[in-house]
């Protein structure tokens, strides 16, 4: 074989060196293409990725200096359509078309589901009753099918077959692997027949056949034009056949990326690989493993490779030797202690290490480093990391500098606007009940429903306020217009009642939110609600439908999406207009066009099925991004060149990523079918690191903690630091310290900026409240700022989203039932009192129209409560003259200019002329202690109001308060807690009457205090619980900015 195998060292820009080497005849001796640019047209070059293909074309243009030339044919080896390998269409004649990805997954998933149905009997004898986890849904089957498809592709690419598994002795495998082996044997036997029946081939199979035919064509057409294969690290048999055919030509050349020229023979020989040998141990994890295996397969010794490398005096050559030494095989690391392995200081020149405290700090430091590199107007910078979370963080941090980094990975289709619209549409139509999902669908930027974007958003807001907030029920898009109509009628009725009798009006919060909706927006909301139901009908009609295949469901989904996105002209332009819309359209087209596969599933599983199928789809932006700042994954960064390279996420588990076990093949089984061990991917990652460290300026970064847990530095970084020694490691960290310094200080407020203080507004006297309800007094005590925000600023918290009936609703319902019983004249002494109470309860339950699952729980509780309540009433009956329920009242306090109002659940007028005021509670708050110390003064203040004649039903002031009580309506018992108690310190008896007087006195003082013009309304004056910032106005008061360390001193 002629010596036409080359290697471009890490210290040289690979594609630029390749272009210049080809033009100058360095790689193809005898061909000086620079002087004859038209001769380039006869050259064919194979590269591993499309990104490299585009970049090489730019390098040729740069090297030619703008001179006219016909560029060579540059094709890909491992990415995209394999048909691009062919010089002419006839070269692919006789090949079967490839099976579509969706069709393939569906067919494999069908086998997975059948296996699940048959495995129970098989497992019982092998796993000795152990619990096994199997795919339980169609989506689970599709996820497993994806893993199986990857396994098939790997087997095909390696030129082997799974049939060797049939000779594996079952006793050598654990029980689970025996089950897997049985399944793989069945699938291996049947899958070729499935493909043959359809006249299709697997894509990996077609790719290999393309490569073999291309290799044969190249070997047979000697002299038809020079051929070069460059930059590939693939060592599959088909790829090696192509390389072998190229390397044997006189006008062919094989250019390897970064073959180690410094590693001694003993160390290089320790990376054993040959032919079809698959070795365990550390060899596959070495950066030169793949290249060693490639040379072995080509029968080319390392010393026969011609190296294109920096000059010996270049610091990059010193760094290349240093990195080679650091990454040498573990068996020869004892050489580090030899004097000959001491490296000069220039080996660490332009290297920096950033060790951040956490992921956020690392991302910010990387962004600072990228911004610093771009200070040179002609410089380029790239971040290479396999950690997509880190990449997204860095991309977001770069926006603060106005840099839109060119992220090679793009965005997952599921995370784009069309993708989220798909998932929201499916969730609302087929799994209703979540109001958040329904509101998100209504407010989605692509949802128009025949209106402009502005009108659609106005309608969404109106529907949210009127129908989906402040009430209970099931948020079902299929009945949205009914929910909206019912809510508007209820609000109109409450508004009319409030106008006729303001004291009986609706809660101000609800009324205020509703009043914000104009009549025009109401009409718009009704129209949009009806159109939303119609748009989703193709999907909602599928509820309860029989199983079907994905094409039928995808057609219904497409119709729904187009109806949702229809603009004023009735066309779904908003959905399809952008590049993300085009990607969504292509995805939907694949689903709609999927042939019959026999893989059917019920409609309710469609959201999960689509989620599984869309997971592999991504969208790469076409423009508008930086041409100087790049974010790459390890694969995308191969063969790329920038002025500053940043290697991010250098922690174990991130780079290299953890070697995950195969879901279907154990290590023993992989060895049996001649597949590479998982560590081979670590070796490729190590080679990526070795090549990246050849850039002129390299910044390495890692976080010391991830997810709150300590991290371990990447094994390669550990080796570099070990070989560098303490002084060298300190030098690397010092170089990176500047980025950490700026990252840590960039968000620190400028000196002199005042610290946020606790809000203490002082409104003028005319704006201060002069009317309080008894329930509002506790808020005035604990958080005066909340009263200020509510009463002075007129700000109200938005009502919560529609929810299922909860404990508070159950309490309100039970209160209303007990009030109905008393108001209707129910006598607890009657023999049929309990029956009468349950009849009143039945009427209320019927009016509430509770969901069946809620009613099934609440009604038995009501039945138990009825018996306990009647027993309690009968015990009290001899002393009670009158029972007053749900009594409203108010009293003016002219001496301070304040009115106090309140609402009493129950007032019992006793035989001795005194009264007992009772508050029904289904929960534990407020506690008796809080009421006794008047932190929760509602009940004592109601007593004071009764003594002043505030409640009309008592027919004037009452003589005295016999007791103030909480009646706890528990599920299994009903008990009364009185506020009267014996003071342990003074020994005096504190009665309900005296507690009422004290509460009124304190209120007078409190209200008068806040009527003073100088009194501030402090935020969280007496917080209920330290650290709890869930108050309605805590965000407005910016509590988190000033309250640290203060609440603990003031909380109870």
Contact predicate 24/274, CB 8 Å: no
Q: State the Cα–Cα distance between residues 559 and 539, nearest whole angstrom.
A: 9
pLDDT above 50: residue 460? yes
Residue 800: phi and psi, rounded to 5, are: -70, 160
Q: Of the given ranges (595-604, 865-874, 968-977), which has the lowest mean pLDDT?
A: 968-977
Instruction: DSSP letter for 212, please.
Output: H
User: Which two tokens mark 1045?
Assistant: 């360390």
Contact predicate 416/583, CB 8 Å: yes
Contact predicate 99/205, CB 8 Å: no
Q: State the Cα–Cα distance between residues 256 and 5, nearest whole angstrom.
A: 8
Which residues have C-beta within 8 Å of that of residue 775, sequence separation ≥ 6?
Answer: 902, 938
Q: What is the mean pLDDT of the chain?
A: 86
pLDDT category of residue 274 using cuts at 50, 70 and 90: very low
Tens of pLDDT along 209-264? 888 888 888 888 766 789 999 999 887 888 889 999 998 888 899 999 999 999 98
Average pLDDT, stretch 986-999? 88
Pick the most confident of 135-139, 214-218, 315-319, 1030-1034.
Answer: 315-319
Instruction: DSSP letter for 792, please.
Output: I
Q: What's CA 313's distance to the chain center, in Å? A: 50
Pick the most confident of 81-95, 170-184, 329-343.
Answer: 329-343
Q: Give the DSSP H/E element, type plus range, for residue 56.
A: helix 50-63
Tell me, what's the pLDDT at 958?
Answer: 84
Q: Of the given ranges (105-119, 225-239, 585-599), which has the lowest mean pLDDT?
A: 105-119
- CA-only gyration radius of the chain, Å: 38
Tens of pLDDT along 357-386? 999 999 999 999 999 999 999 999 999 999
Q: State the Cα–Cα distance between residues 362 and 342, nearest whole angstrom.
A: 31
Q: CA separation (Å) from 1041 to 759, 1044, 1045?
A: 11, 7, 11
Query: What would the DSSP string read from start to end of 147-177?
Result: HHHHHHHHHHHTT--GGGGGGS-GGGS-HHH
The pTM of the whole model exceeds 0.85 = no
Contact predicate 1000/944, CB 8 Å: yes
Q: CA separation (Å) from 68 to 23, 227, 380, 630?
A: 14, 22, 26, 29
- Fold adopted by 766-1039: Lambda Exonuclease; Chain A (3.90.320)
Q: State the Cα–Cα distance between residues 714 and 517, nearest whole angstrom.
A: 58
**How do strand 974-978 and strand 915-921 relate by DSSP bridges?**
unpaired
Tell me, what's the pLDDT at 1052?
Answer: 43
With CA atoms as reference, report the closest residue to 368 among 746, 729, 779.
746
Tell me, what's the pLDDT at 592?
Answer: 95
Q: Of the given ranges (400-409, 493-502, 535-544, 1001-1010), which has the lowest mean pLDDT?
A: 493-502
Tell me, what's the pLDDT at 277?
Answer: 40
Tell me, what's the pLDDT at 422?
Answer: 96
**How do strand 44-47 and strand 227-230 relate by DSSP bridges?**
parallel
Helices first, then strands: H and E counts in the chain: 36, 24
Q: State the Cα–Cα distance between residues 788 and 566, nearest whole angstrom.
A: 45
Tell me, what's the pLDDT at 78?
Answer: 59
Tell me, what's the pLDDT at 440?
Answer: 96
> Please, what is the angle between helix 550-565 and helix 519-540, to 10°?
170
Phi-psi region of 25 (alpha: psi -120 to 50; beta: other; left: phi over 0): left
Tens of pLDDT along 9-49? 998 999 999 999 999 889 988 887 887 777 888 899 999 88
pLDDT category of residue 174 using cuts at 50, 70 and 90: low
What CATH number was assigned to the domain covering residues 5-96+205-311? 3.40.50.300
pLDDT above 60: residue 693? yes
Domain-wise residue ranges, the chain: 5-96+205-311, 101-200, 345-410+625-656+665-745, 413-619, 766-1039
* Strands, E assignment, 673-729: 697-703, 705-706, 709-710
- How many C-alpha atoms does 760 have within 13 Å on its Cβ side? 9
pLDDT above 90: residue 788? yes
Which of 3.40.50.300, 3.90.230.10, 3.30.2010.10, 3.20.20.70 would CATH assign to domain 345-410+625-656+665-745?
A: 3.40.50.300
pLDDT above 50: residue 410? yes
Average pLDDT, stretch 743-766? 82
Tell me, what's the pLDDT at 504?
Answer: 43
Pick the most confident of 622-626, 981-985, 1004-1008.
Answer: 1004-1008
pLDDT category of residue 454 using cuts at 50, 70 and 90: very high
pLDDT category of residue 1050 using cuts at 50, 70 and 90: very low
Average pLDDT, stretch 885-892? 90
Q: State the Cα–Cα distance between residues 747 and 745, nearest whole angstrom.
A: 6
Tell me, what's the pLDDT at 1016?
Answer: 95
The percentage of the chain sitting over the pLDDT mark of 90, rounded to a whole number, equals 46
Contact predicate 655/685, CB 8 Å: yes
With CA atoms as reference, report the closest residue to 706 among 267, 287, 286, 360.
360
Tens of pLDDT along 472-507? 888 999 999 999 998 888 888 777 776 665 444 334
Tell me, what's the pLDDT at 499?
Answer: 67
Asked if the domains at 5-96+205-311 and 345-410+625-656+665-745 fall in one CATH topology, the answer is yes
Residue 593: phi and psi, rounded to 5, are: -85, 0
Contact predicate 682/658, CB 8 Å: no
Residue 477: phi and psi, rounded to 5, are: -60, -30
Which residues have C-beta within 8 Å of that of residue 130, sequence separation ≥ 6?
Answer: 175
Q: Give the DSSP H/E element, type plus range, for residue 888.
A: strand 880-893
Q: State the Cα–Cα distance between residues 90 and 504, nearest whole angstrom.
A: 86
- Pinpoint the alpha helices (H) of 336-410: 359-373, 388-398
């Amino acid at each position: 074989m002629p010596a036409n195998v080359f290697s471009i060292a890490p210290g040289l820009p690979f594609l630029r060196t390749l272009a210049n080497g080809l033009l100058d005849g360095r790689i193809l001796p005898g061909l000086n293409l620079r002087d004859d640019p038209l001769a380039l047209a006869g050259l064919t070059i194979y590269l591993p990725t499309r990104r490299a293909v585009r970049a090489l074309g730019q390098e040729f243009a740069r090297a030619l200096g703008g001179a006219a030339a016909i560029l060579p044919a540059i094709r890909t080896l491992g990415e995209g359509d394999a048909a691009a390998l062919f010089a002419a269409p006839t070269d692919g004649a006789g090949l079967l078309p490839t099976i579509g990805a969706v069709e393939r997954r569906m067919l494999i998933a069908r086998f997975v589901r059948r296996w699940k149905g048959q495995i129970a009997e098989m497992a019982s004898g092998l796993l000795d009753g152990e619990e096994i986890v199997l795919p339980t849904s169609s989506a689970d089957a599709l996820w497993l099918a994806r893993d199986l498809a990857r396994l098939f592709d790997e087997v095909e690419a390696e030129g082997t077959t799974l049939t060797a598994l049939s000779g594996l002795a079952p006793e050598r495998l654990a029980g689970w692997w025996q089950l897997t082996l049985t399944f793989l044997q069945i699938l291996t036997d049947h899958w070729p027949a499935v493909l043959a029946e359809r006249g299709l081939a697997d894509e990996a199979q077609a790719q290999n056949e393309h490569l073999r035919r291309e290799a044969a064509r190249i070997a047979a057409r000697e002299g038809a034009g020079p051929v070069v294969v460059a930059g590939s690290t693939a060592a599959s048999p088909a790829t090696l056949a192509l390389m072998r055919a190229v390397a044997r030509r006189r006008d062919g050349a094989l250019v390897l990326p970064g073959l180690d020229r410094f590693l001694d023979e003993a160390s290089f020989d320790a990376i054993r690989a040959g032919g079809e040998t698959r070795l365990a141990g550390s060899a596959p994890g070495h950066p030169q493993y793949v290249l060693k295996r490639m040379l072995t397969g080509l029968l080319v010794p390392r010393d026969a490779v011609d190296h294109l490398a920096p000059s010996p005096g270049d610091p990059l050559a010193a760094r290349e030797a240093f990195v080679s030494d650091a990454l040498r095989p573990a068996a020869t690391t004892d050489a580090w202690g030899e004097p000959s392995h001491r490296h000069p200081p220039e080996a660490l020149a332009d290297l920096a290490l950033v060790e951040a405290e956490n992921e956020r700090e690392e991302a910010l430091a990387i962004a600072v480093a990228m911004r610093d590199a771009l200070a040179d107007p002609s410089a380029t910078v790239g971040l290479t990391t396999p950690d997509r979370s880190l990449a997204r963080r860095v991309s977001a941090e770069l926006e603060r500098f106005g840099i839109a980094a060119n992220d090679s990975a793009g965005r997952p289709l599921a995370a784009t606007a069309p993708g989220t619209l798909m998932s929201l549409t499916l969730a609302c139509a087929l799994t209703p009940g979540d109001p958040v999902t329904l509101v998100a669908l209504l407010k989605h930027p692509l949802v128009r429903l025949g209106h402009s974007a502005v009108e659609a958003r106005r309608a969404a807001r109106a529907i949210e306020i009127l129908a989906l907030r402040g009430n209970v029920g099931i948020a079902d898009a299929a009945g949205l217009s009914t929910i909206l109509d019912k809510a508007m009628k209820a609000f109109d009725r409450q508004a009319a009642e409030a106008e006729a009798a303001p004291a009986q009006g609706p809660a101000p919060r609800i009324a205020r939110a509703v009043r914000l909706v104009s009549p025009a927006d109401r009409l718009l909301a009704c129209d949009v609600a009806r159109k939303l139901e119609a748009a989703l009908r193709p999907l909602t009609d599928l509820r309860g439908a029989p199983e079907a295949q994905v094409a039928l469901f995808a057609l219904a989904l497409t119709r729904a999406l187009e109806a949702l996105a229809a603009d004023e002209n009735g066309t779904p332009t908003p959905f399809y207009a952008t590049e993300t819309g085009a990607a969504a359209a292509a995805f939907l087209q694949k689903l709609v066009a999927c042939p019959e596969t026999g893989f059917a599933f019920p409609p309710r599983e469609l959201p999960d099925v689509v989620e599984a199928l869309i997971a592999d789809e991504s969208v790469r932006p076409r423009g508008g991004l930086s041409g100087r700042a790049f974010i790459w994954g390890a694969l995308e960064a191969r063969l790329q060149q920038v002025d500053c390279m940043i290697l991010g996420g250098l922690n174990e588990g991130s780079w290299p990523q953890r070697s995950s076990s195969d879901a279907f093949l154990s290590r023993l089984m992989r060895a049996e079918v001649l597949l590479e061990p998982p560590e081979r991917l670590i070796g490729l990652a190590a080679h990526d690191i070795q090549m990246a460290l050849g850039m002129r300026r390299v910044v390495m970064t890692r976080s010391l903690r991830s997810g709150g847990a300590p991290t371990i530095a990447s094994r390669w970084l550990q080796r570099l630091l070990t070989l560098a020694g303490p002084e060298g490691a300190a030098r690397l960290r010092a170089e990176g310290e500047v980025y950490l310094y700026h990252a840590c200080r960039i968000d620190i407020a400028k000196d002199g900026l005042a610290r946020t203080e606790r809000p203490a507004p002082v409104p003028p006297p005319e704006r201060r409240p002069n009317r309080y309800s008894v329930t509002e007094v506790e808020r005035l005590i604990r958080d005066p700022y909340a009263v200020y925000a509510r009463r002075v600023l007129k700000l109200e918290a938005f009502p919560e989203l529609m929810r299922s009936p909860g404990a508070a609703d159950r309490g309100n319902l039970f209160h209303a039932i007990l009030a109905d019983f008393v108001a209707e004249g129910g006598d607890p002494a009657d023999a049929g009192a309990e029956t009468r109470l349950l009849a009143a309860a039945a009427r209320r339950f019927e009016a509430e129209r509770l969901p069946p699952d809620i009613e099934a729980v609440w009604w038995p509780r009501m039945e138990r409560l009825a018996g306990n309540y009647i027993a309690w009433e009968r015990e009290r009956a001899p002393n009670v003259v009158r029972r007053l329920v749900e009594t409203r009242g108010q009293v003016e306090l002219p001496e301070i200019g304040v009115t106090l109002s309140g609402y009493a659940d129950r007032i019992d007028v006793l035989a001795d002329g005194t009264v007992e005021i009772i508050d029904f509670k289904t929960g534990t708050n407020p506690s008796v202690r809080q009421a006794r110390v008047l932190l929760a003064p509602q009940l004592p203040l109601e007593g004071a109001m009764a003594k002043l004649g505030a409640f009309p039903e008592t027919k004037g002031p009452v003589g005295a308060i016999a007791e103030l009580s909480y009646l706890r309506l528990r599920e299994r018992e009903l008990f009364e807690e009185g506020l009267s108690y014996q003071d342990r310190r003074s020994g005096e008896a504190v009665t309900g009457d005296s507690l009422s007087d004290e509460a009124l006195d304190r209120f007078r003082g409190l209200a008068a205090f806040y009527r003073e013009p100088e009194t501030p309304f402090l935020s969280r004056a007496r917080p209920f619980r330290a650290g709890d910032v869930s108050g309605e106005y805590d965000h407005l008061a910016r509590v988190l900015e000033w309250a640290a360390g203060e609440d603990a001193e003031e909380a109870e």
